[in-house]
Amino acid sequence: MKPIESIMRTAPVIPVLVIEDAAHAVPIARALVAGGLRVLEVTLRTPAALDAIRAMKGVEGAIVGAGTVNNPEDLKAAIDAGSEFIVSAGLTEKLGGAALASGIPYLPGVANAADIMTGLDLGLTHFKFFPAATSGGLPALKALAGPFYQCKFCPTGGVTLASAPEWLGFDPVLCVGGTWIVGKGTPDQAAIEAAAREAAALAA
């Protein structure tokens, strides 16, 4: 099994995290891991993101990656901070090539057949389907999974606790991603753990 596939199969949901304050990183990671979500995607959208990755790596059981990796510079910063995998919203040959050369497990975003073919050209078969809900939803992914039968997906973008089971019921979907598990502001650890437990109980 490819390393990215074992990461995708760790839990049915990858929480997509926007960390505003690095001091929130450890309490959030502890609550998520306690609730059964071990794979954590910290988006590089805030100045605190890289410090958050470094801090979360100290939480036992957490598998910490970087999301919103837009270019090779972000990739390098994410790897230097200790990211164990990386996620991008889309796929370019430049970023894809750099990610593959680095050897880090990589989950690039795709929204259509051309994106997937760019990935296949690079030797990639595991993708984030993004933005999932507005790119045609499950019917679009089902159509894409026909010609691209060898590919596996993590739909993200507009996925909710309510819609996740339908996505997860489709065989090529190994997991889904979403921001719904962790609210904004000072982390409420009990609420995060409860939301994580609910998400972790979804059948993959």
Angle at the Cα of 42 (from 77 to 105), degrees rounded to 5?
A: 65
Among positions 12, 105, 155, 178, the unique one binding ligand 3PG when judged by CB under 6 A = 178
Structure tokens, 183: 């609210």
x/- letters, 117..156, toward ligand 3PG (CB under 6 A): -------------x-------------------------x
Shortest reach from residue 37's CB to ligand 3PG, in Å = 14
**CB of 132 vs ligand 3PG, minimal distance in Å:** 8
Q: What is the distance, to the nearest Å, from the Cα of residue 122 to the centroid of all Cα atoms in its chain?
A: 20
Binding residue for ligand 3PG (CB under 6 A) from 12, 35, 119, 157? 157
Alpha helix ranges (H) inside the chain? 3-8, 25-34, 49-56, 72-80, 93-102, 113-122, 137-144, 164-168, 189-200
Could you tell me if 118 and 96 are in contact, meaning their C-beta atoms sit under 8 angstroms apart? yes
Convert residues 56-85 into a mask of x (bound to ligand 3PG by CB under 6 A) and - (unbound): -----------x------------------
Positions marked catalytic: 41, 128
